[in-house]
Amino acid sequence: MLRQAIAPLVDLVYPPRCPLCGEGLAAQGGLCPACWQDLAIPGEPACMLCQRPYGESTLAGTICAPCLAEPPQHDGIAAGTLYNEASRKLVLAFKHGRRIALAGLLARLVAARLPQLQGEWLAVPVPLHRRRLWQRGFNQSALIAGELCKLTGARLLVDGLVRRKPTPVLGGLGRKARARALSGAIAVNPRRADRLKGAQILLVDDVMTSGATSAACVSAIKRGGAEKVVVACFARVLDEALEHAGP
């Protein structure tokens, strides 16, 4: 009620504008129609294990080649968008431009792709090392997780995981190098171990690139006794799927 009451004042001081192009909007927290069209939303049909979008000719309920070769430990991936120029700009504005108010928009896009959540769920963000957290001032995944809890009814467990050592940027590394960099880096927080046992977990991240970091998190959570882990991210890097995506 307080938010609704002060909304006109906020709009007067900070006129609502599209965070991508600056176009005027009717309300805060959205994108203009043109920029909505630039987002790539994962399409169907998709892999029944990892939700990797297929071409239209592929039957629903099938499993993609990567999952057949190496079955994942997670119980599904819900990506709000596929990583393209529009989603990249949103992530940069949110994470490096410190426009943390975008967390609500990003969370709404993620929530739209989640399956129906039965029972109680915990939202656990991918952790930052304390040095990176000190430098940035916030964990972007934790902000998205908090907003996602408001939309889904999940409960936030902001420190369910810990990053015990800093890790390099993984984008340019090969599979073995990524595995070495992440070895022993992510673990269940001993103070929260009891809450993870038998729990259903939403593992929340901003961008899923190679999947190495999320896989390390899922592995740690499953070793901790969680029943189910669904990866929820705003943007997923799947260049081969962009042609099958929709606005």
Q: How far is CA 229 from CA 7, 57, 78, 131, in A?
A: 37, 29, 11, 27
pLDDT at 23: 79
Looking at residue 192, what DSSP letter applies? G
Mean pLDDT of the chain: 86
Residue numbers of the chain with a pLDDT score lower than 50? 2, 5-13
pLDDT at 157: 98
Instruction: Report the SS3 class of residue 147.
Output: helix
Residue with tokens 């099938």: 62
Of 159, 90, 85, nearest in space to 126 by CA? 159
Torsional sign, CA 139, 140, 142, 143: positive
List domains and CATH numbers for the chain.
1-37 (no CATH), 39-244 (3.40.50.2020)
Q: What is the pLDDT of residues 139-172, one digit of tens each?
A: 999 999 999 999 999 999 999 999 998 876 766 6
How far apart CA 209 and CA 39 sit, in angstroms, is 17
Side-by-side strand order, sheet with 155-156: 77-82, 228-236, 200-208, 121-125, 155-156
pLDDT at 59: 67
Tell me the β-bridge partners of 203: 124, 231
